[in-house]
Structure 1
Amino acid sequence: MFVNNYCLSMNCIIAPLNGCGGIYLGNLDAAKDSQLLTQYNIGAVLQVLDQSVPVRGAQKLWIMAEDSEEFPLNKYFEQAIKFIENQTKKTNVLVHCYAGISRSAAILAAYLMQKYDWTINQAILHLQSKRRIVNPNPGFMIQLQDFQQKLRNNNQESTLSLATIQHESQNDQQNNQNCQREVSPLHKISRLDEFNNKLDQFRNQLRIKHKVC
């Protein structure tokens, strides 16, 4: 049907596997082709366009976005990632813009970076290996670089938090051991006092008996 992936209206980016839905990247024609969506079991569509377009037989999330270097697409990264993540639990997902080159590709790159802890280069190269025309505009690439730095910072904070928890746990264990060391002599003193009291009582009893005799 198609000679190469230049001609496809959409391409499979992540194949369905073990009950998890696959992810497809495509253009407007793919989203409008209800027969194609049915054929590939696509039940959710993420639309990244300046105008909403009706989609039949699938749940749709529309992100109003222009293919402009100045457009703040990164404002919608988290919303888009959450939608893809939730929908792939139950169905295949199509992410598309007008041509499947820039806007939708940038959104999917952000998803891949967060999902698989990929760098921006790894994400773009993977997308281009599946759909060779992928080419987010320079403004979107800068936003993806910022997103990459944000992910790195979050990972570093998570690592520091884990290290802090482990350190506090070690301190707690040490404190417990110290408490046990401190309690132990006190316990010994308490038992010694008890013994001395009993000894005094016994001596008193002996004195009383001696007086009686």
Structure 2
Amino acid sequence: MSLFSNTNMSHVFTQNQNKLYIGNIRSPTINMRAVLSVIEIPITLNTNHFHKQIPATDDIEFKLSRYFDEGADFIHNHLKYGNVLVHCYAGISRSASLVIAYLIKYHNYTTQTAIKFLQKSRPIIEPNDGFIAQLKDYENRGKTVKSYLIKESKQETKNEIKPYHRQVKSFLSPRIKTLF
């Protein structure tokens, strides 16, 4: 089996007419605003792209999770203004993992839902077991943070309402007594 698919890159989805692509090292970069390279060998692009390189190996022991936020933010920030390509050597594991992290962070996907969604456009994606475990942890951390923020927001709202409620109650109490 060849490491490369019949197509070097696949369209993942469109956001405001800008497209996110996932691919391999042979993917064309024409019409891309930004390129995220998730590969350990140095890459130099001969074009005018915003380029970020994440020096990652496709090894179950590699801690790709330390780059999830950085990669997801890069995709998110550049997708607002143009097409983005995320690639690794074969376009199967590392690049897929960073796109999945983006889907988790910015589109509230679960790890499994993001994998299934990505496989519709690029059936060969298969993050290694280590990356999948890290993505599930990332997903769970995101849920915990969101839950905490919602809880804090509700508490702040209660704290803001209590003094106001006391003011209204103290203002109305004497007036209500005179009505009876």
User: TM-score under structure 1 normalisation?
Assistant: 0.75
User: Quick check: 138-147 or 173-182, which moved more?
Assistant: 173-182
Which amino acid is the alignment partner of residue 37 of structure 1? T
Which amino acid is the alignment partner of residue 117 of structure 1? N
Q: Distance in 1 between matches of 2:117 and 2:162?
A: 45
Deviation, 1:177, is 1.1
Deviation per residue, 1:157-180 (Å, 9 max, x gap): 122012112212321221221342
Which amino acid is the alignment partner of residue 27 of structure 1? N
1:154 paired with 2:114, answer: no
Gaps in structure 2 of 5+ consecutive residues: 176-180
Q: Which residue does 2:50 correspond to in 1?
A: 59
How many residues end up aligned between the 2 structures? 171
Which amino acid is the alignment partner of residue 23 of structure 1? L
Identify which of 104, 124, 128 aligns with 2:115: 124
Q: Distance in 1 between matches of 2:41 and 2:171?
A: 69
Specify the SS of the correspondent of 2:158.
helix
Q: Which residue does 1:189 correspond to in 2?
A: none
8 Å Cα contact 2:19-2:82 kept in structure 1? yes
Highest RCO, 1 vs 2 (Cα 8 Å, sep ≥ 6): 2
Q: Distance in 2 between matches of 1:9 and 1:171?
A: 60
Which amino acid is the alignment partner of residue 164 of structure 1? Q
Aligned ranges for residues 18-167 of structure 1 at < 5 Å? 18-19=16-17, 21-30=18-27, 36-38=28-30, 41-57=31-47, 58-167=49-158
Quick check: which has more Rg, 1 or 2?
1
Task: State, as a whole percentage, how many aligned pairs show the same letter.
Answer: 31
Deviation, 1:181, is 4.5
**Higher fraction of helix:** 1
Specify the SS of the correspondent of 1:42.
coil
Deviation per residue, 1:107-155 (Å, 9 max, x gap): 1101001111111111000111110000000000000010011011012
Which amino acid is the alignment partner of residue 167 of structure 2? N
Deviation per residue, 1:53-106 (Å, 9 max, x gap): 111222210000010000000000111111111111111000000000000100
8 Å Cα contact 1:13-1:127 kept in structure 2? yes
Cα–Cα, structure 1 residues 13 and 175, in superposed 2: closer, same or farther, change >3 Å?
Answer: same
Please provide the CA RMSD for this pair. 1.8
Specify the SS of the correspondent of 1:14.
strand
